[in-house]
Amino acid sequence: MRLLSISSGKVTPLFGDHHPNYKIVASAIRKQAISTLNSPESVEITRLGVQGDEQADPSVHGGLEKAIYVYPAEHYAFWNALLTRETKKSVQLQYGAIGENFTIEGLLETDVYVGDKLIIGGLEFSVVKLREPCFKFNAAMGYKGAAKAMLQSGFSGWYLRVHQAGSLTAGVDIKHVSGPKDISIDAQNRALLNRSNQHNLWE
């Protein structure tokens, strides 16, 4: 297990017609890699996340409980194939495109439970919850079914709380320390999908 990429983003206008009540909204979902395996720059990680990273809506993103958003690199093949098919364009997403701060390999939603610890390059983090996609994800992906596809696939990623601040570079190893195993990120995702289907939130 290792950290492949560290990404950050600035709040910018997010254009899209994927929600009836919004034509232009602000978002920092489009993140750019600032430390990669090819260019392993040192990045400062604070208690609030990647230094310089921004959130447009602090009520649902960021803060101590959602300081870092983690996404498995293994899911990128799914998104590239889906978006290429649905948009009729060749899509090859770059790390950070899902809105994540840390792109990792070797650890999936089925393996991770709320309360687990991740030791990344000597820094300590704990797993808080899954990522719940909204219409902004649809707009960023250029596909109105992206949020639904994230829930249906179970490829949600998860948020981390930072317990030990410091510097990180892409390429460092990840150590996974199991917690109480009360509920996995995958189980949270399935529960959210079930609620969404029951309340017809896709209509």
Q: Which residue has the higher pLDDT, 83 or 55?
A: 83
Average pLDDT, the chain: 90
Lowest mean pLDDT, pick from 52-61, 120-129, 153-162: 52-61
Mean pLDDT of 19-44: 82
pLDDT over 90, % of the chain: 71
Q: Where are the beta strands (DSSP E) in the chain?
A: 2-8, 12-19, 22-27, 32-36, 43-46, 49-50, 68-72, 102-105, 117-120, 123-130, 158-162, 166-168, 174-177
Enclosing domain of residue 182:
2-198
Half-sphere exposure of 154 (CA within 13 A, CB side): 13
Q: What is the pLDDT of residue 196?
A: 80
In a domain, 203, yes or no: no
**Residue 20, domain CATH:** 2.40.33.20
Q: Which residue has the higher pLDDT, 29 or 34?
A: 34
Mean pLDDT of 79-93: 95
In a domain, 140, yes or no: yes
SS3 172: coil
Q: How many domains does the chain have?
A: 1
The rounded distance, in Å, linking the Cα atoms of 43 and 34 is 8
Find out whether 18 and 86 touch, Cβ atoms under 8 Å.
no
In a domain, 86, yes or no: yes
Q: What is the pLDDT of residue 199?
A: 64
In a domain, 79, yes or no: yes
In a domain, 85, yes or no: yes
In a domain, 64, yes or no: yes
Q: What is the pLDDT of residue 10?
A: 87
